[in-house]
């Protein structure tokens, strides 16, 4: 009897995956645990392995298709084996919200409409075309300048879903504070001049891990009405890509030295950019840091990475004139934006965390030990 190869559900939040590349074709012989197909899911890619040895009898999902988790991707069996080809567990034809509304207004049966959008998606133009017996291309013509449409799919779709769920399901509150980072930046530059390649961001991440040790209420998750505070800090570090954002996780970051933390963040970021990071390396964080300082941003409202209860946004360093007795001196200030889930954390504990972080950054020598 043929064995089904299904799309794994690599994490509880994984709903779907996209077939990127088939490594094998129908008729190929495969061994147990041999890579069959590359899948993009949860903002990363990984291979699905052969569960048994045998021959590829049928491939049910083509490259480029996105299907729900646990969908049957292929069948493996003996050469020439008769198979009862299962109906692929694929979603029905996608229909845009505007198309559904237009069909209702015009009394059009969507079952009778042929979609011309990406992947056969039914668009507003297809509905109007069916109702008026006019080619969809003509319906969609516009007198204005040409436009570009980009399907909300793949990584962008996952991000959109997660961000929407985060905003909808939480009572999010953002606290912002300017912190004097002059001494920290000076120490980072001194270390770099001596040949120790650590960045300001590395110092910030180390300072965050130290501060979280004193504020466990922020190193926590909220799921099913249960708040779980963690003794170990698994720090998520947001890495921006051209088509989205991935958050790899530095495990037990509180136990790592500044140099070790820096090296691991650099390695994870590089593997994120080359799409070689594994699903297990981008799940299970307990607190997240996202830095937009390199883009000239002073402050912003970071959105919490579910199911965590807090996220810290880091802005750029800016020289600010400050009073020193009767004199005015220039200091390097960074604005930190802390978003908390007000269901699990009140404003005062969030403010106290920022206070502790400010004290650590003001006296950064211990961070480099």
At 157-176, the pLDDT tens digits run: 778 888 888 998 899 999 99
Better-scored residue on pLDDT, 188 or 65: 188
Q: For residue 137, what pLDDT is reported?
A: 57
- Say what angle helices 97-106 and 124-132 make with each other, to 10 degrees: 20
Q: For residue 45, what pLDDT is reported?
A: 84
Better-scored residue on pLDDT, 88 or 121: 121
Q: For residue 306, what pLDDT is reported?
A: 92
What mean pLDDT is predicted for residues 153-158? 73
What mean pLDDT is predicted for residues 182-207? 96
Please give the radius of gyration of the chain, using alpha carbons only, rounded to the nearest integer: 26
At 210-258, the pLDDT tens digits run: 999 999 999 999 998 999 999 999 999 999 988 788 999 999 999 999 9
- pTM above the 0.75 mark? no
Q: For residue 145, what pLDDT is reported?
A: 45
C-alpha triplet 259, 42, 243: angle, nearest 5°: 80
Q: For residue 92, what pLDDT is reported?
A: 54
Q: Which long-range contacts (CB under 8 A, 24 or more apart) does 246-250 make?
A: 246/43, 246/44, 246/155, 246/272, 246/277, 246/282, 247/282, 247/285, 247/288, 247/305, 248/272, 248/277, 248/281, 248/282, 249/281, 249/282, 249/283, 249/284, 249/285, 250/205
Task: Return all residues near 363 (Cβ < 8 A) that are at least 6 apart.
Answer: 183
Better-scored residue on pLDDT, 353 or 142: 353
Residues serving a catalytic function are 342, 346
How far is it, in rounded angstroms, from Cα 345 to Cα 245? 26
Q: With pLDDT > 70 as the criterion, what percentage of the chain qualifies?
A: 89
Cα of 332 vs its chain's centroid, Å:
31
What mean pLDDT is predicted for residues 283-309? 96
146: confidence class by pLDDT, cuts 50, 70, 90: low
**Residue with structure tokens 């400050």?**
322
Give me the sign of the Cα torsion angle 41, 47, 52, 54.
Answer: positive
130: confidence class by pLDDT, cuts 50, 70, 90: confident
Q: For residue 124, what pLDDT is reported?
A: 77
Q: For residue 16, what pLDDT is reported?
A: 82
At 44-94, the pLDDT tens digits run: 788 999 999 999 999 999 888 888 888 999 999 988 776 655 544 445 566
């Amino acid at each position: 009897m043929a064995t089904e190869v299904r799309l794994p559900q690599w994490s509880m939040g994984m709903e779907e995956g996209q077939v990127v590349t088939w490594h094998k074709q129908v008729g190929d012989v495969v061994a147990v645990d041999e890579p069959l197909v590359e899948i993009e899911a949860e903002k990363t890619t990984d291979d699905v392995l052969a569960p048994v040895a045998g021959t590829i009898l049928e491939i049910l999902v083509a490259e480029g298709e996105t299907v729900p988790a646990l969908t049957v991707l292929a069948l493996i069996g003996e050469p020439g084996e008769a198979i009862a080809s299962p109906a692929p567990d694929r979603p029905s034809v996608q229909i845009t919200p505007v198309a559904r509304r237009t069909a209702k207004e015009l009394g059009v049966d969507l079952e009778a409409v042929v979609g011309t959008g990406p992947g056969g998606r039914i668009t507003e133009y297809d509905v109007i075309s069916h109702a008026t017996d006019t080619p969809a291309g003509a319906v969609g013509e516009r007198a204005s300048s040409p436009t570009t449409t980009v399907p909300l799919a793949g990584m962008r779709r996952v991000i959109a879903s997660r961000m929407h769920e985060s905003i909808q399901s939480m009572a999010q509150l953002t606290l912002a504070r300017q912190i004097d980072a002059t001494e920290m930046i000076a120490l980072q530059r001194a270390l770099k001049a001596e040949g120790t390649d650590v960045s300001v961001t590395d110092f910030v991440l180390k300072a965050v891990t130290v501060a979280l040790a004193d504020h466990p209420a922020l190193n926590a998750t909220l799921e099913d009405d249960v708040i779980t505070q963690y003794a170990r800090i698994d720090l998520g570090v947001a890495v921006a890509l051209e088509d989205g954002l991935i958050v790899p996780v530095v495990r037990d970051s509180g136990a790592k030295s500044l140099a070790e933390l820096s090296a691991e963040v650099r390695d994870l970021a590089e593997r994120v950019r080359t799409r070689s990071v594994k699903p297990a390396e981008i799940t299970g964080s307990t607190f997240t840091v996202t830095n937009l300082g390199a883009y000239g941003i002073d402050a912003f409202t970071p959105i919490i990475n579910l199911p965590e209860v807090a996220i810290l946004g880091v802005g750029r360093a800016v020289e600010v004139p400050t009073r020193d007795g009767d004199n005015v001196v220039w200091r390097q200030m960074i604005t930190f934006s802390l978003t908390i889930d007000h269901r699990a954390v009140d404003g005062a504990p969030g403010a106290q965390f920022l206070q502790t972080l400010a004290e650590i950054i003001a006296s950064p020598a211990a961070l480099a030990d």
